[in-house]
Structure 1
Amino acid sequence: MSQHASGELLYPLDARPGYAEATFAAIQHVLASFVGIITPTLIIGGVLGLAEHIPYLISMALIVSGVGTFIQARRPFGVGAGMICVQGTSFAFLSSVLAAGFIAKARGGGPDEILSLIFGVCFLGAFVEIVLSQFLHKLKRIITPLVTGIVITIIGISLIKVGMTDLAGGFKAPDFGSPANLALGGFVLVLIIALNFSSNAWLRLSSIVIGLLAGSAIAFFMGKISFDHLANLPLVSIPVPFRYGFSFDWGAFAPIALIYLITAIESTGDLTANSVICRQPIQGDVYIRRIRGGVLGDGINSALAAVFNTFPNTTFSQNNGVIQLTGVASRHVGYYISAILVLLGLFPVIGGVLQQIPKPVLGGATLVMFGTVAAAGVKILANEELDRRKLLIMAVAFGLGLGVMNAELLAQMPTLVQNIFGSPITTGGLAAILLSLLLPAGDSCSEAKQRPAADATAGDTAN
């Protein structure tokens, strides 16, 4: 029996694995996170019409993820958790980033103006998480598990439409909804589901990668993929700070700032899980410093992402599973992961190849990812004791959040109001926060205590 199978780590947090062991472990981390790092860029670029910029944006996403992972592992000046915390582009910001892009597009802006606004608001928004990292103990009084679960569920539900649109061929595609597109996307979806039920842990871990590769192979023979444009790409991608400029809009900023608030709490959960797997304390001064440093690292890495032309970063939870499977918790492996990601990002041909993944293939995979986001929110809510007060908060938050997404309620309102409250995440999230603060918790508790004993007995019998 291997050491990690019996509950021990092969390489604890400060151990130094050999070159071969560290490289092999790092490759597994990269495979687990690679699709998550590049997919938001592919979606944003496709929806906002940024085709010629996608290879460069993917290169920057990989480079910044590598740098961010190094910061988390090395923990310079107290920034970072000092663990293997692979950084990658956050799906949580997807809806808000797209909303910011549409604001710029509605003003007649081209790709440069769209990206200028997105990276401007993402850069300033990162300071929300940077500041809050030092007040996490107070933040939890406002952003409760109930609020977090509601917001994450709304994020997942709002993104499912994007996944389904891609599965059918993509927005305004001439063959949208064709049998070929639906069959291709459906194949990828079914394959990923089947692999997730495999008894082999590595097949489950690689299910998204395998699904994309298999779907792309079929799409190639269907004539849906062409690599003719690769010859026009530069040999190396050079990071250029704020290459597209810098601009700001309050309507675009508000939803993104709220997501930074939520991800600060979400990252705390991921870092705590990582600490447990790495046999590190989850209480006391050491734990508090590690969590604060990790969330601070998330915020600084997101600011770096905006400076170097990519989207907000966060700690990827799926890599905790890799640590658990391999028994390799050494933070020094984070340096190897960082090097691999930076090397991949330096060559734009990689982004050019990935850009060719057909929409139905991407949609089949992202549908699972986005559904998983929504399911994660539901799981958080399921762990709550849902009394009358909490059910009311959920009902109003979901009603308002999903309502503004599916109805033109704000068409007669000023543009600023439309931009801020037209986001289901902002409307639903703010509703959940305000109701949690305003609705007294004592009434529902008293009501629960006053329920007839017969009801309680009936409940026990049912169980």
Structure 2
Amino acid sequence: MASETHAVDEMFPAPRLLTLGLQHVLVMYAGAVAVPLIIGRALKLPPEDVAFLISADLFVCGLATFCQSFGFRGVGIRLPIMMGVTFASVGPMLSMAASPEIGILGIYGSVIAAGLFGILVAPFVSRLLPLFPPVVTGTIILVIGVSLMRVAINWAGGGLPTVTKVVDGTPGLFPNPAYAQPLGLAIAAFVLCAILALIRFGSGFVANIAVLLGIVAGAILSALLGLMHFDKVATASWFSLITPLHFGVPEFHLVPVVTMCIVMLVVMIESLGMFLALGDITGKPIAQADLTRGLRADGVGTLLGGLFNTFPYTSFSQNVGLVGVTGVKSRRVTVTGGAIMIVLGLLPKIAALVEAIPQPVLGGAGIVMFGMVAATGARILTGVDFRTNRFNLYVVAISIGFGMIPMVSPAFFHSLPDVLHPLLESGILMAAVASVALNVFFNGIGDAEEARAHSAAAAASAEHV
């Protein structure tokens, strides 16, 4: 007699699959397109190239989701997971983007190397879980959110407070007269208030996509005010293939490669927590081999990202939270969501429309998105024992201090060799290294089973927007 189908493998009629899959896409869409927008604009790419980055990102989101949810031999945990670009990679990539020696080709080289690294080390990473108890993971996620907040604030201001100008043949930084104009600030505030109202008074599906609806409302207001232009949307084609190595042959630089491999390690540890939490939510036992396949899918997704002109990939926690909220546990739903993402990636008009959204609109949404990342870290830290273990206070305090150095004083390490700057200018990586080292120094290495339980509990609480 055939065994009963587990809820994870349940199949639904096509209309329901499409509806539930679209819901997963809408929940993650704002976060999925945020990273290519950040990096594309940091690289000062023309609008059509930024739009291409968005299309490539959506396309690889779908491919990576297939690898993770549908799976194939040795790859994919086969749980209801949506994959998207990790925010943990933004800080290091912004530093690389600012370096003329590295640039976009150096970024892609480091992403490809990180993907290969992830594939190779996947069987061993779960053994490192005791190095990442909640006091470490909570601190790292808190610093990620705080570090990214400056991006959201500058978005709300409509750009950067200073611009580079050449005066008498010499480049220099000058105040940006267009920065933080009242109309732009009003639009950012409108988007923020719209999102908060939807979260407060909306329910269910509406509350889940509050960020996306807030961005749509801000875009409509901007268009009515004449601040959103559709020239590039009109000229963009309806269909275009995503070609690999669109910007050229990737370049491999030692420090960026090492930096991105460290980011990959942090991302994989976070994924372990997501897998364990999702196993509890779906009632599916998670074995060591399952964790290895899931982590290997992170590496494959990141490798595909580097080859197809995008960035490192991880499991999106907001979609893990959506599984818990809706009670729909079937991985067929997220596979359908992955198919929808691939189709969206092949429609350049959609990407051009997203790229046309004014920065103040994204700023209002970014304050919510990145703030929720920081709040997730704080929530994880609420489960840490600070009362009887005073050492944990020092782990958090000093690690946050290290993480804030690049943001508070960008020139702090200017006297050190340039080759180290991509590493030292990432507050996220500095906080990660400091928190792991300090935790081992003060608390030693914990028990693996206890770390698994703590990581699953922390991930279950990490349902940020």
TM-score normalised by structure 2 residue count:
0.86
Q: Of the candidates 111, 132, 144, which is equivalent to residue 133 of structure 2?
A: 144
1:435 lines up with 2:432 in the alignment: no
- On the 8 A contact 1:11/1:327 being kept in 2, the answer is no
Partner of 1:3: none
Query: Where do 5+ consecutive residues of structure 1 fail to align?
Result: 1-9, 108-112, 443-463
Query: What code does the residue aligned with 1:233 have?
Result: A
Shift in Å at residue 199 of structure 1? Answer: 5.1
Equivalent position of 2:94 in the other structure: 98
Question: What is the alpha-carbon distance in structure 2 between the residues aligned to residue 139 and residue 126 of structure 1?
Answer: 18
Residue 441 of structure 1 and its aligned partner are, at CA, apart by 5.3
* Partner residue, 2:396: 394
- Which position in structure 2 is the counterpart of 1:72? 68
| Residue 17, structure 1, aligned to residue 2, structure 2 | no
User: Take 2:30 and 2:439, find their aligned partners in 1: how far apart are those partners?
Assistant: 36
CA shift, 1:168, in A, is: 1.1
**Cα offset for 1:440?**
5.6
In 1, the alpha carbon distance for the partners of 2:211 and 2:6 equals 27
Contact 2:88 2:428 in 1 (8 A): no
Aligned to 2:254: 250
Residue 22 to residue 395, structure 1, CA distance change in 2 (3 Å): same
Contact 1:189 1:368 in 2 (8 A): yes
Matched, 1:218 2:221: yes
Deviation at 1:11, TM superposition (A): 8.5
> Is 1:189 matched with 2:185?
no
Partner of 1:302: 302
Unmatched segments (≥5 aa) in structure 2? 164-175, 446-465
**What's the counterpart of residue 272 of structure 1?**
276
Distance 2:11 2:430 in 1: 48
TM-superposed CA distance for 1:301, in Å, is: 0.6
What's the counterpart of residue 182 of structure 2? 179
**Residue 238 (structure 1) aligned with residue 249 (structure 2):** no
Q: Give the secondary-structure state (helix, strand or coil) at the position aligned to 2:122.
A: helix
Distance 1:121 1:320 in 2: 28
How far apart are the structure 2 equivalents of 1:369 and 1:229?
27
CA distance in structure 2 between the aligned counterparts of 1:11 and 1:140, rounded to whole angstroms: 28
Q: Are the equivalent residues in 1 in contact too, given 2:92–2:425 (CA < 8 A)?
A: no
AA aligned opposite 1:17: F
Match of 1:317? Answer: 317
- Alignment check: 8 A CA contact 1:132 1:264 kept: no
Q: Deviations over 1:86-120 (max 9, x none)?
A: 111111211111111112x3x4xxxxx72211111
RMSD of equivalent CA atoms: 2.0
Instruction: Summarize the Cα distance change of 1:363–1:199 in structure 2 as closer, same or farther, 3 Å threshold.
Output: closer
Q: Residue 110 of structure 1 aligns with which residue?
A: none
Give a deviation string over 1:192-216, Cα, whole Å, max 9, x none: 1121123511121010111001000
Q: 2:34 aligns with which of 39, 57, 66?
A: 39
Q: Is residue 126–residue 269 contact of structure 2 (8 Å, CA) maintained in 1?
A: no
| Higher Cα Rg, which structure | 1
Q: What corresponds to 2:348 in structure 1?
A: 348
Structure 1 position 324, deviation (Å): 3.1
- Is 2:250 the counterpart of 1:261? no
Distance 1:406 1:56, change over 3 A: same
With the length of structure 1 as denominator, give the TM-score of the two structures.
0.87
Amino acid at match of 1:279: G
CA 1:440–1:215: 2 relative to 1, 3 Å = closer
Indicate yes or no: 2:56 matched with 1:60: yes
- Write the letter of the residue equivalent to 1:129: G
Q: AA paired with 1:39?
A: A
Shift of 1:277: 2.1
Q: Distance in 1 between matches of 2:422 and 2:33?
A: 27
Identity among equivalent pairs (%)? 31
Partner of 1:448: none
CA drift at 1:145:
2.3
Q: What amino acid does structure 2 have at the position aligned with 1:100?
A: M
For 1:192, what is the secondary structure of its paired residue? helix
Does the aligned pair in 1 maintain the 2:70–2:78 contact within 8 Å? yes
Q: Conserved in 1, the CA contact under 8 Å of 2:79 and 2:331?
A: yes
SS in 2 for 1:314: strand
Residue number in structure 1 paired with 2:107: 118
2:230 is aligned with 1:227: yes
Question: Counterpart in 2 of 1:127?
Answer: 116
| SS of alignment partner, residue 188 of structure 2 | helix
User: Contact between 2:110 and 2:260, CA under 8 Å: does it hold in 1?
Assistant: yes
Q: Is the 8 A contact 1:255 1:423 kept in 2?
A: no
* CA 1:440–1:33: 2 relative to 1, 3 Å: closer
Deviation at 1:382, TM superposition (A): 1.8
**2:88 corresponds to which letter in structure 1?**
A
What letter is aligned with 1:184?
I
Distance 1:427 1:211 in 2: 33
| Cα deviations by residue, 1:21-65 (Å, 9 ceiling, x for unpaired) | 111111111111111111111121122211331111111111111
Partners of 1:417 and 1:63 in 2: CA distance? 33
CA distance in 1, matches of 2:322, 2:209: 11
User: Among 141, 144, 167, which residue is 1:155 paired with?
Assistant: 144
| Mapped partners of 2:302, 2:272: distance in 1 | 16
8 Å contact 1:147–1:433 — kept in the other structure?
yes
- Counterpart CA distance in 1 for 2:68 and 2:187 is 39
Q: Which digits, 9 at most, give the CA deviation of each residue in 1:384-417, with x for residues without a partner? A: 1122222122222122221233222211111123
2: CA distance, partners of 1:399 / 1:326:
39
User: Helix, strand or coil: the match of 1:13?
Assistant: helix
